[in-house]
Amino acid sequence: MSKTETSPYHHVRSEIIPLLTSDDLFTTVERQATRYAYAEAVIELGERNPDVVVLDADVSKSVRTHKFAEKFPERSFNFGVAEQNMMAAAAGMATTGLIPYATTYAVFASMRALDQVRNSIHYPRLNVKIAASHGGLTPGPDGVTHQGQEDLSILRAIAHSTVIAAADPPTTKLAVWAAAEWEGPVYLSFTRDPVPVIFDLNYPFEIGKAVTVRDGTDATIIAIRDLVVQSLVAAERLAKKGLSVRVIDCHTLKPLDVETLLQAAEETGAIVTAENNMFYGGLGSAVAEVLVENYPIPMKRIGVRDTFAESGPYLELLKKYGLSAEHIADAVKEVVARKGQSR
């Protein structure tokens, strides 16, 4: 816990806070791709749960689940470049009580194999964990075919789905472990590129429970996955300009923590959502649906607009495609300015 009497932060590592307005945040701070945190977590899980098996589709060396294969060769299954077969086989395994972690990239998990994911995993509510790396624009240099910018929206639209995208490596591990305890399908979305370690393993991770990681009274940023840290940066910059901005880590897109977000809406009166995902159907849409029916207030969505991105460094892509801390901060200023105006 890094909270002090004067600090508005909750669960944020104390060494991170002074760096939030510094460029050093993405250079000197310990960083790790959350796909690697997943691999470490699933290996630990494999040690304590013999029912856990890992399925791969030719990206085990990219995600590092090949280390699970080295440790538990009999519980590791590499299906080659055949994601559809992997997903339906995972479903078959789950019918027998195994807990398969089917591992691939977000584009393939959410699109190539979506028919299997919908009909053979979600429809029968089988206990398959879909581990999807390369979420959003995090695979920057790989370009559009490998940038999973729709996975959160697509999976959210499936009945019985549970959709999680943790903000950093430690909370990713907690998500992977929590998924094993959750009966039914869970979709886990990871980053390809490294993100700063902003929390630690004491983080109160609970599926479906959003976490307020920064207090604030003027507006709330509700963020997911890699845009949580961008939102913290935005809030800290705005604090220097006298705005008090709450930040919520909404790691579980579905089921959405309606209570926490409505409380934030009532207490701060303005909402910005931030996701490295299409701004259709994902976090922004989910929050907007709740607000418009319950507590309409000024709101703005940060997400990938109606476009495909391109190859480039991850952080540069965030800037070019409107997902950076600066864009989030501008959105907050806009919704705060709209507060109290007649609608």
Positions annotated as catalytic residues are 83
Burial of 186 (0-12, 13-18, 19+ CB in 10 A): buried
Instruction: Name the amino acid, one letter, at 26.
Output: F
CB neighbours of residue 221 within 10 Å: 35
> Does the footprint of other proteins cover residue 161 (CB under 8 A)?
no
CA distances in angstroms from 71 to 43, 67, 77, 249, listed in the order given:
8, 6, 13, 33
> Does the footprint of other proteins cover residue 47 (CB under 8 A)?
no
- Provide the minimum distance between the beta carbon of 185 and other proteins in the complex, in angstroms, as a whole number: 13
* 8 Å CB contact between 85 and 76: no
Residues 290 to 309 in contact with other proteins, rule: CB under 8 A: none
The single residue among 98, 111, 258, 290 that binds other proteins, judged by CB under 8 A, is 98
φ and ψ at residue 188, rounded to 5 degrees: -115, 125
Burial of 73 (0-12, 13-18, 19+ CB in 10 A): exposed
- Provide the minimum distance between the beta carbon of 160 and other proteins in the complex, in angstroms, as a whole number: 10
Q: Which stretch binds other proteins (CB under 8 A): 92-100, 103-111, 221-229, 265-273?
A: 92-100
- If the CB atoms of residues 98 and 258 are measured against other proteins, the closer one turns out to be 98
- If the CB atoms of residues 116 and 162 are measured against other proteins, the closer one turns out to be 116
- Provide the minimum distance between the beta carbon of 88 and other proteins in the complex, in angstroms, as a whole number: 3
- Provide the minimum distance between the beta carbon of 194 and other proteins in the complex, in angstroms, as a whole number: 33
- Which of 234, 211, 213 is CA-nearest to residue 318? 234
- Provide the minimum distance between the beta carbon of 112 and other proteins in the complex, in angstroms, as a whole number: 10
CB neighbours of residue 7 within 10 Å: 13
- If the CB atoms of residues 93 and 213 are measured against other proteins, the closer one turns out to be 93
- Provide the minimum distance between the beta carbon of 166 and other proteins in the complex, in angstroms, as a whole number: 27
CB neighbours of residue 220 within 10 Å: 32
* 8 Å CB contact between 155 and 135: no
Q: Which stretch binds other proteins (CB under 8 A): 26-34, 59-67, 113-121, 223-231?
A: 113-121
The single residue among 21, 32, 49, 119 that binds other proteins, judged by CB under 8 A, is 119
- If the CB atoms of residues 80 and 313 are measured against other proteins, the closer one turns out to be 80
> Does the footprint of other proteins cover residue 77 (CB under 8 A)?
yes
> Does the footprint of other proteins cover residue 90 (CB under 8 A)?
yes
* 8 Å CB contact between 169 and 201: no
Q: Which stretch binds other proteins (CB under 8 A): 29-37, 87-95, 224-232, 277-285?
A: 87-95
- If the CB atoms of residues 3 and 71 are measured against other proteins, the closer one turns out to be 71
Q: Which stretch binds other proteins (CB under 8 A): 116-124, 137-145, 252-260, 271-279?
A: 116-124
> Does the footprint of other proteins cover residue 182 (CB under 8 A)?
no
SS3 224: coil
For residues 261 and 250, give the distance between their C-alpha atoms in angstroms, rounded to a whole number.
Answer: 9
Burial 266-305 (b: 16+ CB within 10 A, else e): eebbbbbbbbbbbbebbbbbbbbebbeeeeebbbbbbbbe
> Does the footprint of other proteins cover residue 68 (CB under 8 A)?
no
- Which of 242, 231, 319 is CA-nearest to residue 273? 231
- Which of 112, 115, 120, 113 is CA-nearest to residue 91? 120
> Does the footprint of other proteins cover residue 32 (CB under 8 A)?
no
The single residue among 120, 127, 191, 212 that binds other proteins, judged by CB under 8 A, is 120
- If the CB atoms of residues 79 and 105 are measured against other proteins, the closer one turns out to be 79
Q: Which residues pair with 55 in a beta bridge?
A: 77, 102
> Does the footprint of other proteins cover residue 286 (CB under 8 A)?
no
- In the complex, the residues that contact other proteins under the rule CB under 8 A are 53, 74-75, 77, 79-80, 82, 84-98, 100, 115-116, 119-120, 123-125
